[in-house]
Amino acid sequence: MARVRLYLGTAKPLHDYVFSRPDGSVGTVEGLRLRAYVRFQDLVDTTSEEGRDAAYPECVVDTGSFLTIVPEKIWQYFLPGRRHPAPVPPQHAGPPPVAHHRRRDIRL
C-alpha cells in the first residue's frame, strides 16, 4: 500500500491572499502550498533512475476529486500485477462536465 506524507510550506512564487472583513477593513493571509509525497517504493521497479524517481513522486492533493489519477510517467514503472487500469466506456472518454461552484464568503 502506498503511503502519503503531507508538508505545508511557502508558496513559490510568494503571494498573499487579500480579503475583506465584515467591517469593511482589508486583511491579508500568506499563501501556503500543500505538498504531498507518495511512497510507491514497494510498487515500482527501482532498477533505473526514472524508476527510483517514480518511487517517491510529488503529487497534487485534489480535495474535490472522486478519482485518483497516476500519470503514465509514474505507473509505467509499476511492477507486474501492481497496475489495474479501469475500463472507461466510450461515452465517458471525453472531458468531464464543468462543475458549478457557489461563492462563499469567509468571515473572521
Q: Give the pLDDT confidence of 64-92 residue by residue, as tens digits.
A: 666 667 778 888 888 887 776 677 676 76
CA 20 to centroid of chain Cα atoms: 29
Quote the cell numbers at residue 5.
506524507
Q: Where are the alpha helices (DSSP H) in 6-107?
A: 49-55, 72-75
The pLDDT of residue 81 is 79
- Residue 13: inside a domain: yes
The pLDDT of residue 104 is 54
Are the CB atoms for 36 and 69 separated by under 8 Å? Answer: no
- Residue 102: inside a domain: no
One-letter amino acid of 63: T
pTM above 0.75, yes or no: no
* Domain of residue 79, residue span: 3-83
Q: Both ends of the chain: CA-CA distance in Å?
A: 40
pLDDT at 19 over 80: yes
- Could you give the number of structural domains in the chain? 1
One-letter amino acid of 99: A
Maximum mean pLDDT: which of 8-12, 58-62, 103-107? 8-12
